[in-house]
Amino acid sequence: MRCSHTVTVMLLSLLIVPALTAGNAADDFTNQLISSQEIAEAGLFRLSDLFMLVDNWDGMTIDGFSWGYSVNGLSPEMSSRWIVMIDGQRMDVASFDLKSINTLPISISSVDSIRIISTPQIHEGEFSDGGLIHFYTRPAKPGLSLQGKYGVGNETGEPGPYRYTEYYSPNVDRIGADEEACIAWSRENYSIGGGWVYQDHYLTDPAMRDRCHSINNYLNPKMESLSYHSQTSVDVSGSRHNLFMGCTDFSSMQFLKTYGREIPMEDYLLHIGLNGFIPLSDFLNIRYRTKYSRKEIDKRDNTYDIYFNWIAESYYGNVEAIYSGGNTSGKAGAGLHRTIADGAELSGSQTIDKVSIYGEIERRITPNLNSTLGAYITVMDGESALKSALSNLLIIREHNKILVNLAFAQQLPGETWSDLYWADKGFLFPGIAPDVYSLSGELDKSSYFSSDLTWKREILDNARFSVGLSYRYFMDYPLEAFSVGYDTTYMTFPIQEIAMKGTDGQVLTETFSVSHDIRSRFRQRLSFRYNIYVEGDDIFEEQWNSMPQYRLSYTAAVTIAEGCSIWGKAVYLPARDYYGYGEIETLSSGLYSGRLDDLLLVDLSFQKYLWKSRLWFNLGFRNIFDEDTHLHPIGASQELTFFIQLRATFDSILN
């Protein structure tokens, strides 16, 4: 029954796609663009908070700082595959299975806009297998610009004066304070700027306090991130070149499944990237992207002397020719990504090359049909993978459009950069004896077919709806089979074995949203998404069902006066059983549970600009109903929390 449903969807997709082509004209149709106004209005505190504004993603976090995302059902949240970019340069934020966009060397207030790509396509020389987040930084204004921000959050649930009574409870520390400062100088054909960002995050939630405290030499456990960045842009004879340099020193204490607990580490990221475009004629442009990045995981003192020593240096070069003329445009490019990994845990330095060749053609077949076809070939570790995407935008009327996106993508094990990939390369996790723990299974090339059908229509002048149907068919998808125990002495979650399995599975997602805008003074949006597991292997089913089966959200924003608004969002997620943690409720005598309760999360934000928009003040409230907000069985639950942010921006001084 379910299979026939799936086949119907596939056939429907093919019927609606009469021609084999697709296009970037569909970009704004399928991609979500989040503006700086929306970021400010919602009072986003850190980069990872952008998740609050995206309705087709599922997220999980253990510590509240690092997040895993399932982007539009393209991967389970526990094996995130998204790519992150800043101004056209891919950032290497991954450390094994850990990815934290908060370690990027920019802050949320230096972001001008964010492009969220939730369907497979070629973007800036990359193929977005598992989604893509692209941050565009604030362009420098003419003259001298200065910006500074201070923000702090305070989670409720502290002992207060009851500390000195029989009602004593442990302390729950604040979030932040986060600080940042930027300076920029711009003239007609060049700009130069730089800044720093400091973030502070305590791990004092009751769910993690004791195990973090015990490994942190019994000191108050916290993570700190200090970043610097500089950016130089030059325009020469119609060409534009952008040099972005950034580094982050992240005193991390993130949960590593391999250890079943948080491990203190020093995590360094250095990124030097140069990209730009050179116009060759009215029809032909050249884009180029180069970068050097260095990812280092180093020693941070801890009780059990678990010290990482790991360095991965990456060199990347990409050239792309872009043709545009008449009804047809296209691009073709090639890139080489070389990674040299070294460290005490590896038997010797290892060089891994990834070569990419790709092309894309976009054609306006009729005034009402726009199509784009892209193909992307990756060669790595002696294997090749083909990725392709085809999208067709059918314009019925100006405000009545249908888009069909079809993709088939293979993925090589090295592209995931996972713990298991490096274990396969000979990496030994420090402090773990091979007889205590083992990794097994084969890492093979995986593939998937995806189909996204979206219909958007304006109902009235100020209202529109969107209906979508997405189908995913994963083949040999690598998932980790494991079961978590509980050690009462160390309050950790040991795993005896992680076995890699190539699994097959099919899922279907239905979405519906309606937006309403009354003269830009009052905006509201209702969104509903329903995930249907169709069929597949047992592990695939269990891991897929760890994500919420549906998600209902409502967002409203009221503009009280110019520069003054109230924003609110309510999200409801149903209860679910989380894969691998089924036994911990019994083992921990009810302290933890593998079942995540249903959740109603309501956030509010009030913003006011002062002094002709030079000052920005935001008061934000998260989880105002004080719900249990666990998004992972052993993760923190953020109780009612309030944030205060103050930002000062002085543009065009000395202009």
Partner 1 sequence: MLLAAILLSSASVAAEGKQPLETFSVYTGGLTDVGQTNFHDIWQPETGIDLSVTMPFYYGEVEVGITFLPYSALSNNQPDFSSEYTYFGWGDVIPLSRVFDLSAGIRVGTFRFVFEGENIEKHRRFESEFCAAIVAGVESKLYSAWSFELSASYVRIYTAKRIDMFYLSGGVSRTFSTPDWMREFLK
Stretch that binds partner 1, among 321-329, 372-380, 414-422, 640-648 (CB under 8 A): 640-648
Residue 245 beta carbon to partner 1: minimum distance, rounded to whole angstroms: 37
174 vs 294, beta carbon nearer partner 1 = 174
Residue 591 beta carbon to partner 1: minimum distance, rounded to whole angstroms: 17
204 vs 275, beta carbon nearer partner 1 = 204
Stretch that binds partner 1, among 121-129, 362-370, 421-429, 618-626 (CB under 8 A): 618-626
Closest by CA position to 491, among listed 90, 258, 210, 252: 210
DSSP state of 346: S
178 vs 267, beta carbon nearer partner 1 = 178
Closest by CA position to 114, among listed 133, 140, 132: 133
Neighbours of 351 (CB within 10 A): 10
Residue 159 engages partner 1 in binding (rule: CB under 8 A)? yes
Residue 105 beta carbon to partner 1: minimum distance, rounded to whole angstroms: 30
Longest dimension (CA), the chain: 78
188 vs 562, beta carbon nearer partner 1 = 562
Strand pairing partners for 561? 564
Residue 42 parent element (H or E): helix 36-42
Stretch that binds partner 1, among 124-132, 496-504, 584-592, 634-642 (CB under 8 A): 634-642
Among 25, 183, 355, 619, binds partner 1 (CB under 8 A): 619
Among 14, 19, 344, 560, binds partner 1 (CB under 8 A): 560
Q: Are 532 and 564 in contact (CB under 8 A)?
A: no
Among 640, 646, 648, 650, binds partner 1 (CB under 8 A): 640
Residue 164 beta carbon to partner 1: minimum distance, rounded to whole angstroms: 5
Closest by CA position to 535, among listed 587, 450, 602, 472: 472
Interaction mask 493-522, partner 1, x per CB under 8 A: -----------------------------x
Strand pairing partners for 532? 508
The DSSP bridge pattern shows strands 641-653 and 143-155 to be: antiparallel
Residue 463 engages partner 1 in binding (rule: CB under 8 A)? no
321 vs 619, beta carbon nearer partner 1 = 619
Any alpha helices (H) in 324-474, and if so which ranges? 413-416, 419-424
Residue 369 engages partner 1 in binding (rule: CB under 8 A)? no
Say how far apart CA 635 and CA 199 lie, in whole Å: 20
Amino acid symbol at 651: D
Residue 604 beta carbon to partner 1: minimum distance, rounded to whole angstroms: 9
Residue 646 engages partner 1 in binding (rule: CB under 8 A)? no
Among 2, 163, 187, 399, binds partner 1 (CB under 8 A): 163
Using CB under 8 A as the binding rule, the residues of this chain from 566 to 595 that contact partner 1 are 566, 568
Residue 224 beta carbon to partner 1: minimum distance, rounded to whole angstroms: 18
Instruction: Output the six-digit token pair for 274.
Output: 């140069």
Stretch that binds partner 1, among 117-125, 155-163, 244-252, 311-319 (CB under 8 A): 155-163
Stretch that binds partner 1, among 154-162, 261-269, 275-283, 471-479 (CB under 8 A): 154-162
DSSP state of 596: E
Phi and psi of 442, rounded to 5°?
-105, 145
Residue 59 engages partner 1 in binding (rule: CB under 8 A)? no
Among 167, 189, 219, 442, binds partner 1 (CB under 8 A): 167
Say how far apart CA 170 and CA 164 lie, in whole Å: 11
Residue 110 beta carbon to partner 1: minimum distance, rounded to whole angstroms: 25
Among 369, 558, 570, 648, binds partner 1 (CB under 8 A): 558
Among 142, 143, 157, 359, binds partner 1 (CB under 8 A): 157
Instruction: Output the six-digit token pair for 319.
Output: 């050239």
Amino acid symbol at 199: Q
Q: Is 36 helix (H, G, I), strand (E, B) or coil?
A: helix
Q: What is the 3-state secondary structure (H, E, C) of 363-380?
A: EEEECCEEEEEEEEEEEE
Strand pairing partners for 132? 83, 117
Among 142, 143, 441, 563, binds partner 1 (CB under 8 A): 563
Residue 8 engages partner 1 in binding (rule: CB under 8 A)? no
Say how far apart CA 394 and CA 376 lie, in whole Å: 24
Amino acid symbol at 442: E
Closest by CA position to 177, among listed 148, 145, 215: 148
Say how far apart CA 532 and CA 194 lie, in whole Å: 46
Among 154, 350, 545, 549, binds partner 1 (CB under 8 A): 154
Phi and psi of 389, rounded to 5°?
-140, 145
319 vs 558, beta carbon nearer partner 1 = 558
DSSP state of 121: -
How many residues line the site for partner 1 (CB under 8 A)?
34
Residue 166 beta carbon to partner 1: minimum distance, rounded to whole angstroms: 10
Residue 51 engages partner 1 in binding (rule: CB under 8 A)? no
23 vs 64, beta carbon nearer partner 1 = 64
Among 1, 4, 15, 165, binds partner 1 (CB under 8 A): 165
- E-only strand ranges, 257-399: 261-279, 284-299, 310-325, 328-343, 350-366, 369-380, 383-397
Any alpha helices (H) in 396-537, and if so which ranges? 413-416, 419-424
Say how far apart CA 467 and CA 459 lie, in whole Å: 13
423 vs 604, beta carbon nearer partner 1 = 604
Residue 628 engages partner 1 in binding (rule: CB under 8 A)? no
Stretch that binds partner 1, among 187-195, 363-371, 506-514, 563-571 (CB under 8 A): 563-571
Phi and psi of 5, rounded to 5°?
-60, -45
Among 4, 164, 348, 398, binds partner 1 (CB under 8 A): 164
DSSP state of 25: G
Per the listing, tokens 């195990």 go with 211
Instruction: Output the six-digit token pair for 347.
Output: 């038997």
Say how far apart CA 456 and CA 467 lie, in whole Å: 7
Interaction mask 597-616, partner 1, x per CB under 8 A: -------------xxx----
Residue 608 beta carbon to partner 1: minimum distance, rounded to whole angstroms: 8
Stretch that binds partner 1, among 31-39, 116-124, 130-138, 559-567 (CB under 8 A): 559-567
Binding site for partner 1 (CB under 8 A): 154, 156-165, 167, 169, 172, 522, 556, 558, 560-564, 566, 568, 610-612, 619, 621, 626, 639-642
